[in-house]
C-alpha cells in the first residue's frame, strides 16, 4: 500500500512538472477547449434572456454558471486518449508497461491526476475572465463545494475507466477512430456537455439515466451551481461510486482478455 502511495506521489509530481514545462502549449489547448462552452453559454443565455429570463428552469445567469463550472469539470475529466493506445502498441511501449510490477492503469491515473491539478491552477485566471465577462449566478454552500470536490474526481475516475476500456479495443482492431467518435458523440449529447439534460426531450433523459455519461459532466456541475437537494447530492456520489466499481470490474475482465490476445510486434 505504501509502495502504491509513493508511486502515485512521484508520478503526480512528474505530471505537474510536465504541465509546467509546456505551459504555453497548455494555454493554447485550454483556450481552444474553453471556446466550446462559451458558445453554448452565449447561445443559451441569449435564448433565456429573449424568453422573459429563463428556459428549461435555467435563468441566463444560471446558464452562465453552468458553463463556467463546465470548464472546471472538463479540465479535471481530461484523461488518456484511446487514440494513444495505437501508438503504445505499435511502438512497443506497451511491452515495457507490462514488465512493471503494477497494473499499467495506475501509471495513467497518477500521471494524469498530476497534470489535472496543475491545469486547474492554470485555469484560474481564465475562469476569472469568464466570471467578469459573463457574470454567473452562483452561491454554493460548503456542503455543495465538498460534494463537488469529490464529484469531479469521481468524474475523472469514471471517464478514465471508460476511455481506457475503449482504448483496449485497439487490441482487436487498429481502427479505434470510428468507435471513439461515436463514444464522444454519445457523451456530448447524453452527459449534459451540450446542454443541461433538462432541456432534452423526456426519452433522452430516461436513456441518460442508464448510462454513465451524466456522472462525468452534469452531476458535478449541478452539485456546485445549487440545482440539487442534499439528498440528491449524496445519492449522486453513491451513483458515481457504483459506476466506478462497475468500471473496475469490467476493466478486469477486458484486461484479462487483452493480455491473452496481445503479442508484441517488432523486437
What are the cell numbers at 101? 510490477
| Cβ proximity to another protein, 49 vs 106, nearer residue | 49
Assess contact for 237 and 147: CB atoms under 8 A.
Answer: yes
In whole angstroms, how close is the CB of 203 to another protein at the nearest point? 14
C-alpha 76/C-alpha 224 separation (Å) is: 15
Nearer to another protein, 28 or 149 (CB): 28
Toward another protein, which CB reaches closer, 22 or 149?
Answer: 22
32 or 101, CB closer to another protein? 32
- Closer residue to another protein (CB): 50 or 91: 50
Q: Please enumerate in sequence order all residues whose Cβ is within 8 A of that of 144, keeping only pairs 6 or more positions apart, or say none.
A: 223, 224, 226, 233
From residue 40, alpha-carbon distances to 93, 120, 176, 213 in Å are 39, 21, 28, 18
CB of 202 to another protein, least distance (A): 13
Distance CA 3, CA 103 (A): 13
Judged by CB, which is closer to another protein: 44, or 161?
44
CA-nearest of 138, 135, 146 to 226 is 138
User: To the nearest whole angstrom, how small is the minimum distance from the Cβ of residue 159 to another protein?
Assistant: 18
Cα–Cα dist 222/31, whole Å: 23
State the minimum distance, in angstroms, from the CB of residue 1 to another protein.
37
Q: At closest approach, how far in Å is the CB of 10 from another protein?
A: 25
Q: Which is nearer to another protein, 54 or 93 (CB)?
A: 54
Question: Where on the chain is the footprint of another protein (CB under 8 A)?
Answer: 22, 24-26, 28-29, 31-36, 38-39, 42-43, 46-47, 50-51, 55-56, 133-134, 175, 177-178, 181-182, 185, 188-189, 194-195, 199-200
Residues 6+ apart with CB under 8 A from 12: 110, 111, 113, 114, 117
Cell numbers of 58, please? 435555467
Question: What would the grid cell of residue 24 be?
Answer: 504555453
Smallest distance, another protein to C-beta of residue 233, A:
27
Residue 96 CB, nearest distance to another protein (Å)?
Answer: 24
DSSP-based three-state secondary structure for 210:
coil
Count of alpha carbons within 13 angstroms of residue 158, beta-carbon side: 27
Contact 163, 254 (CB under 8 A): no
Amino acid at each position: 500500500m505504501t509502495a502504491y502511495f509513493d508511486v502515485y506521489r512521484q508520478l503526480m509530481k512528474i505530471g505537474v512538472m510536465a504541465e509546467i514545462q509546456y505551459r504555453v502549449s497548455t494555454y493554447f489547448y485550454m483556450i481552444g477547449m474553453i471556446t466550446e462552452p462559451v458558445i453554448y453559454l452565449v447561445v443559451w443565455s441569449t435564448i433565456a434572456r429573449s424568453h422573459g429570463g429563463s428556459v428549461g428552469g435555467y435563468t441566463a445567469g444560471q446558464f452562465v454558471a453552468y458553463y463556467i463550472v463546465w470548464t472546471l469539470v472538463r479540465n479535471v475529466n481530461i484523461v488518456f486518449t484511446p487514440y494513444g493506445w495505437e501508438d503504445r502498441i505499435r511502438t512497443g511501449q506497451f511491452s515495457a508497461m507490462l514488465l512493471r510490477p503494477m497494473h499499467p492503469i495506475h501509471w495513467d491515473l497518477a500521471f494524469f491526476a498530476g497534470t489535472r491539478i496543475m491545469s486547474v491552477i492554470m485555469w484560474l485566471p481564465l475562469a476569472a475572465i469568464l466570471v467578469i465577462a459573463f457574470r454567473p449566478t452562483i452561491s454554493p454552500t460548503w456542503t455543495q463545494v465538498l460534494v463537488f470536490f469529490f464529484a469531479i474526481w469521481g468524474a475523472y475516475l469514471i471517464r478514465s475507466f471508460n476511455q481506457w476500456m475503449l482504448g483496449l479495443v485497439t487490441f482487436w482492431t487498429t481502427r479505434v477512430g470510428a468507435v471513439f467518435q461515436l463514444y464522444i458523440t454519445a457523451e456530448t449529447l447524453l452527459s449534459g456537455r451540450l446542454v443541461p439534460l433538462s432541456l432534452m426531450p423526456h426519452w433522452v433523459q430516461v436513456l441518460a439515466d442508464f448510462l454513465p455519461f451524466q456522472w462525468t459532466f452534469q452531476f458535478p456541475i449541478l452539485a456546485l451551481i445549487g440545482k440539487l437537494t442534499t439528498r440528491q447530492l449524496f445519492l449522486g456520489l453513491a451513483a458515481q461510486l457504483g459506476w466506478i466499481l462497475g468500471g473496475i470490474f469490467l476493466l478486469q475482465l477486458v484486461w484479462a482478455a487483452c493480455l491473452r490476445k496481445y503479442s508484441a510486434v517488432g523486437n
